[in-house]
Amino acid sequence: MLQKILIHGLPFLLPFAAYLLYLKFSRRGGEWTRTAWFWLTAIGLVLSILSLIALRLVGEDSIEGEYVPPRVEDGRIVPGHVIPPKPQ
């Protein structure tokens, strides 16, 4: 669960962390403004969307074989499983 939170939340939070570091280490100092919040949120959303697209393109979600859903047999629940494909 933590991995999913980091994968989806980190791209959104990166612009805020970078701006916070910039404010901390810049000689001018500065403060958060409404404009900064808007652009940081917009950049964070774009990064989140791009990461979701990249994960969809790179991730493997195909299952080889036949899926058998869970069912009840003799009063017991038999969990779902995948029957491997027959070798050709």
pLDDT score recorded for residue 23:
84
pLDDT score recorded for residue 29:
65
Q: Along the 88 residues of the chain, how does pLDDT read in single tens digits? A: 788 788 888 999 999 999 988 888 887 667 777 888 999 999 999 999 999 898 888 876 666 888 899 999 999 999 999 998 888 7
pLDDT score recorded for residue 77:
97
Give the DSSP H/E element, type plus range, for residue 61.
none
pLDDT score recorded for residue 62:
65
pLDDT score recorded for residue 63:
67
Determine whether 40 is exposed, middle or buried from the number of CB atoms within 10 Å of its CB (0-12, 13-18, 19+): buried
User: Distance between alpha carbon 9 and the CA centroid of its chain, in Å?
Assistant: 7
